[in-house]
Amino acid sequence: MITTSGLTKVYRSRGREVTALDGVDLHVREGEVYGVIGQSGAGKSSLIRCVNLLERPTAGTVSVDGHDLTALAGRGPRAGRELRRARSRIGMVFQHFNLLSSRTVQDNVELPLEILGTSGKERSRKALELLDLVGLSDKAKAYPAQLSGGQKQRVGIARALAGDPKVLLSDEATSALDPETTRSILQLLRDLNRQLGLTVLLITHEMDVVKSICDSAALMENGRIVESGTVSELLATPGSELAAALFPVGGDASGDDRTVIDVTFQGDAATRPVISQLSRTYNIDISILGAAMDTVAGRQVGRMRIELPGVYEENVVPIGFLREQGLQIDVVGERELVKDGAK
């Protein structure tokens, strides 16, 4: 639904150059919620703003719903008719809501329809319908200043949906909200994604956001996507930083001559008694250092950190046994080695 290839953005100001995006290839499938996570300054906002060409990419292409937007953009700095039409089919919500304070809630939701040239009657019907969808039908005549942050973001979402977009872009939509409100806004986005088949690309610096609603995720660092995939793919990727962050387990080794491994269970692997089998088969004592069950992207996932006696070399066979059972095994300590080797 959204594809970027080789997307590069270099900001030039007063002779200084900042490469905010450095060849980003992103692929968001139709109907999924895709989260891009990264620290402040990683280039997330630049990425999402390049998707609807609020920011002109320095190089690379963006296509949304089969339309190559970079081709529509033309060469001048101003957005031509074609690009503006394409933008009207992409909804966008913002961290600071960006509602017009001079307009009522209903008039704010009607604004995209005014731009599309919809008739007055149809506009108000549609606006009221959308306000109902986001649970704010009683606030139609209020002004944004009279609303709470969560309500403002609901108006922002209703407004973003006014043009019947297939794609919703969300730039830190919950970052200005308290945890409770964040949950309700995320739930709303999830519902809209399900009910309307809306494809959602959201960027965030909060892992919880990805954990609660994303089907797929990408990790951004220094303008590059360093990891990406569906959440279950990521969880099944040994050494995945995103997986570790999404689903952390704690616990330290009790001595030097021990091997600590993280076992991730997904699906039916979670129901088999593999740990006791391991213990019996190889006659070893296993201590459990930490464990957690959680729901990630709507699936039950279990993770357990266990300790085997002896150094890694002595445990190659038991670890192999666990891998054969279809479990994902990360050897703690080895992960750092792998990463250092890659650098």
Ligand X SMILES: Nc1ncnc2c1ncn2[C@@H]1O[C@H](COP(=O)(O)OP(=O)(O)O)[C@@H](O)[C@H]1O
Q: Given the complex with ligand X, which of 39 and 295 has the nearer CB atom?
A: 39
Helix%, strand%, coil% for the chain, nearest 5:
40, 30, 30
- In one-letter notation, the amino acid at residue 123 is R
Task: Answer with the entry of ligand X, Mg ion, other proteins, none that 87 interacts with (C-beta below 5 to 8 A by kind).
Answer: other proteins
Residues facing residue 39 across a β-bridge? none
Q: Is 57 in the site for ligand X (CB under 6 A)?
A: no
Q: Given the complex with other proteins, which of 164 and 334 has the nearer CB atom?
A: 164
Q: Is 170 in the site for Mg ion (CB under 5 A)?
A: no
User: Shortest distance, CB of residue 49 to ligand X, whole angstroms?
Assistant: 7
Q: Is 41 in the site for ligand X (CB under 6 A)?
A: yes
User: Shortest distance, CB of residue 220 to ligand X, whole angstroms?
Assistant: 7
- Give the number of other Cβ atoms within 10 Å of residue 61's Cβ: 14
Which of the ranges 41-49, 123-131, 174-182, 234-242 carries the binding residues for ligand X, by CB under 6 A?
A: 41-49
Going by C-alpha positions, the residue among 134, 187, 192, 133 that lies closest to residue 166 is 192
Q: Is 42 in the site for ligand X (CB under 6 A)?
A: yes
Q: 9 in helix, strand or coil?
A: strand
Q: Do 130 and 109 touch, CB atoms closer than 8 A?
A: yes
CA distance linking residue 174 with residue 94, whole number of Å = 9
Task: Answer with the entry of other proteins, Mg ion, ligand X, none that 152 interacts with (C-beta below 5 to 8 A by kind).
Answer: other proteins
* Tokens found for residue 339: 């990463």
User: Shortest distance, CB of residue 13 to ligand X, whole angstroms?
Assistant: 5
Task: Answer with the entry of Mg ion, ligand X, other proteins, none that 37 interacts with (C-beta below 5 to 8 A by kind).
Answer: none
Phi, psi of 15 (to 5 degrees): 80, -15
Q: Is 132 in the site for other proteins (CB under 8 A)?
A: no
CA distance linking residue 42 with residue 36, whole number of Å = 10
Which parts of 23-52 interact with other proteins (CB under 8 A)?
A: 52
Q: Is 52 in the site for ligand X (CB under 6 A)?
A: no
Q: Are strands 90-94 and 167-171 parallel, antiparallel or unpaired?
A: parallel
Q: What is the DSSP letter of 76?
A: S
User: Shortest distance, CB of residue 149 to other proteins, whole angstroms?
Assistant: 5
Q: Is 103 in the site for other proteins (CB under 8 A)?
A: yes
Q: Given the complex with ligand X, which of 105 and 218 has the nearer CB atom?
A: 218
Q: Is 176 in the site for other proteins (CB under 8 A)?
A: yes
CA distance linking residue 338 with residue 343, whole number of Å = 9
Q: Given the complex with ligand X, which of 20 and 327 has the nearer CB atom?
A: 20
CA distances from 44 to 2, 28, 39 (A): 15, 15, 8
Q: Is 182 in the site for Mg ion (CB under 5 A)?
A: no
Q: Do 39 and 221 touch, CB atoms closer than 8 A?
A: yes
List residues near other proteins by CB under 8 A: 52, 54, 77-79, 84-88, 90, 92, 94, 96-103, 111-112, 114-116, 143-146, 148-149, 152, 159, 163, 169, 176
